[in-house]
Structure 1
Amino acid sequence: MLLSLLPMALAAHAAQDVEIGCQRLRIALAPALDAQVVERDWGSGEPHQGPNATLELVGCNGKVLSQLPLAAPLARLDPQPVRGAPRPTYLVSADLTAEAGSYNGPLTSAVEVVSDHLQVAEAKPAKGKPVPIQLGLTGKSAWQRVQGRSGESLLAVRSQREAGEFKTTYARYHVVGKAWVVSSRTRPGLWESDGDFPAETEFPGPRAGRNGR
């Protein structure tokens, strides 16, 4: 079920090193792991001992300027920056897949480079405090990048049980001015990842125009 969605959202996440001018973003893995192990075991639920991966920003002189701890030993970095983001922004995934369970899978965060510092981007909802942009890929959640003329939106769908019934939330993360905002709606019903990704019209907010990867 989950594996059928991996090519859609993660096909470009194989890079472990991305150049940003003379600086670099890189995934630092435990000594026993390398990119081949990440590719082999990604999404399998195979357990790995040792420390979790770290995202590092390396300066022009080769020194590490900033580190962002990730949530699992296996991690991937999408080499394509998010188009139209207010700051240099990249999608970084940590593999939380477990052997059983429909709520476990890779978790992708939108990470910004701000003044030589790494931070998870936040989006402002209609009400409440800003929330981190984190996207799940499980048996009951998925996401897509959607291309538009001025930039990209990130669409996320998630189903969960509430008071004995399933409800599905459709969220769109998009840029307004120089800030991320999130528009969402929740409807009764169950969505699962072995079905088609919902039509863009299900997601509130301005339509981007055409689907990306």
Structure 2
Amino acid sequence: MVISNITDIITNNLNLVIGLSAYAVYRLERRNEIKKSATIVLLAVRQAERTISTVKETRNIDPRSHRLVRGDPWSTHNHLLADHLDEDELELIDQFFKNCTLIDKMLDQLCSHPQVHERVLEIQRILCKIAYDSTINSEPATTAQDRYQKSKDAFLGLMEKEETLINPKDPQEMLRARLTDILPITTTTAGSQLKRLASRWWQRRRIR
């Protein structure tokens, strides 16, 4: 009888230890999944922000190399991060990726029409030459910016009269306008939270 009771106690304790160990493993795996998901999303955000910054600085958009997001990291991983971001943070990140996806689709459309892409590049080359010529023009009472703007408007005005697949003003300017609508993430509380979740020592919060 005594031996039977001891055996039951040992068995119960062993089951408890096994159960606690399994739960600890589950929580550790869950935290690792959250960390991995936050890292993937954060890297995607940083890459997109770097590309946006480059385009804004150079004022040049190359449809073949300036994609903002590869794949769909946010839709794939947001279910693991939802409990760790408030409603405003979720909305901000969601809108960020929606805008990036929209711009990437616009870039894909340009790439799908080589003639359009080459046309845009040719227009850019001509505008660069106009800008250079404006800086070496020595006409009095005018500035380089004034001369450039006048020559640019005249050139684009002539281009618009041609029967082309695109309006030469539209693709680059439309994309730049879209880029200005994209708010940065890494400098916000949403970015701070992603960084915390992606770090090794993020504090515990409710895990589903």
Q: Which has the higher contact order (CA 8 A, sep 6+)?
A: 2
Structure-2-length-normalised TM-score: 0.20
The structure with the larger Rg is: 2
Larger strand percent:
1
Higher helix share: 2
Task: State the TM-score, normalizing by the size of structure 1.
Answer: 0.19
